[in-house]
Copies of this chain bind each other. A is one copy, B any other.
Amino acid sequence: MDKKQENKKVFLEIVNQLRQLIKHEGIKPGEKLPSERVLSERLNVGRSSVREALRSLELLGLIETRHGGGTFLSSVSSNQLVELLASFILQENKAIEDVHIVRRMHEKEAIRVICSEQSLRSLPVWESLFMKLELENEIVRDLLLREIMIASGNRLALKIWLQLVAYSATPLKKLSTEEEKPMLQRLVKSLQLGYENEATSAYENWMHYLKNSSS
């Protein structure tokens, strides 16, 4: 049995070779790449294969093509762009930390949105959540966050967030502790009042607490 991992897409291999060529040839941003015909000859592949690779790079914005003029490396700092390419090719998705960061970004933004809109601030759900905190002394953590995401009203952001949550290591039904209570109350209250800074601060406190308590 051969290694399945070597099943690299061939057109990705071409993309990779293009990357090396750019590096080796020292082609700077804004400069011209060899023509498609030359590339196909140098890489020993058909012109159409070269084009498939180039179109991919174009959709990513890494190159620009001018009809009749040629193909050019996008201007500005190529080092970053080249490295970016590598991360795409090598499928470096292992950054779990990135998932957390993006998730928190969405949550924070949702809080901002809610604070800045009277109609969202006055949703009955906040009062309900606040009461629940008072009476039951505990609350499902993700329930609050989910309500926040839903209330912010962006379906795409909500979908992304749900996916991110699914990826997060944190169990869905984790209950909040007694210690979290004041933070949560502060968050919900300032949310209702539209105190953006206060709400954001409360949120960050909460996240900081969760981070430390889990380790």
A residues with a Cβ closer than 8 A to B are: 9, 11-12, 15, 48, 51-53, 55-56, 58-61, 64-65, 74-81, 84-85, 87-88, 91-93, 95, 98-99, 101-102, 105-106, 108-109, 123-125, 128-129, 132, 140, 142-143, 146-147, 150-151, 154-160, 162-167, 172-173
**Do B91 and A162 touch (CB < 8 A)?**
no
Name the contact of A84 in the complex, choosing from B12, B84, B159 (C-beta under 8 A).
Answer: B159
**Do A60 and B61 touch (CB < 8 A)?**
no
**Do B85 and A142 touch (CB < 8 A)?**
no
Please indicate the chain B residues that have their CB under 8 angstroms from the CB of A79 in the complex.
93
Question: Known: A48-B48, A92-B155, A155-B92. Is A124-B77 also a contact (CB below 8 A)?
Answer: yes
Closest 10 CB pairs of A and B: A98-B156, A56-B59, A77-B125, A52-B55, A105-B109, A84-B163, A80-B150, A81-B163, A98-B154, A56-B56
Instruction: Name which residue of chain B comes closest to A81, CB basis.
Output: B163
**Do B157 and A81 touch (CB < 8 A)?**
no
Q: How many copies does the complex hold?
A: 2
Please indicate the chain B residues that have their CB under 8 angstroms from the CB of A78 in the complex.
91, 93
**Do A156 and B95 touch (CB < 8 A)?**
yes
Chain B nearest CB: distance from A81 CB in Å? 5
